Amino acid sequence: MEGLLCDFLSRDHARLGELLARSITASGALHADLYREFRAGLLHHIAMEEKILMPAVRRQDPVAIEGIEAQIRLDHGALAALLVPPPTPGVIAALRAILLKHNEREEGHGGLYARADGVLRERVEQILEAMRAAPPVPVAPTVDNPNVLNATRRALLRAGYRPEDYLDNPIAEEG
């Protein structure tokens, strides 16, 4: 049975997935306002997990999320890096692919959320309140330059993803 933390965060995953889907029209055009809302929402979601959920789990049981925390953090880095360049078809494809795997790591059997619900069961309402009260994350405009794309590619590589499966052009020499 899924717990309250899993329910809260999984519903946010669904909301973010819908925003991303709705931000791209059938013809491939971008709904800029929906994409901006998706970016802000994903950064907020990552911040809730990084600043509230995972530290609370670690304080309660230092080994509860061993084996998955490192990959979740790497995924967060890759996802955040993908939000910096403009939303090209390759960026959108990478976001979708990584979110699919990442969300399973969090929502799946034995994933982050199930472990958090088990470890934090006595404090679940306090944790939920902290997440609901988490302030929005400042979101800068996208940046379109080769150095940003190179950094994005490196973040994907660190997280175990193949940037060439999504993004055009290999890593270029930085000047």
Structure tokens given for 123 = 């404090």
Task: Report pLDDT digits (tens) over 87-133.
Answer: 999 999 999 999 999 999 999 999 999 999 999 999 999 999 999 99
pTM (predicted TM-score): 0.93
Task: Report pLDDT digits (tens) over 70-84.
Answer: 999 999 999 999 999
Cα 42 from chain centroid? Answer: 6
Rounded CA-CA distance 69/88 in Å is: 29
Contact 72, 105 (CB under 8 A): yes
Domain spans in the chain, listed from the N-terminal domain onward = 4-165
**Burial label, 72 (beta-carbon count in 10 A; 0-12, 13-18, 19+):** buried
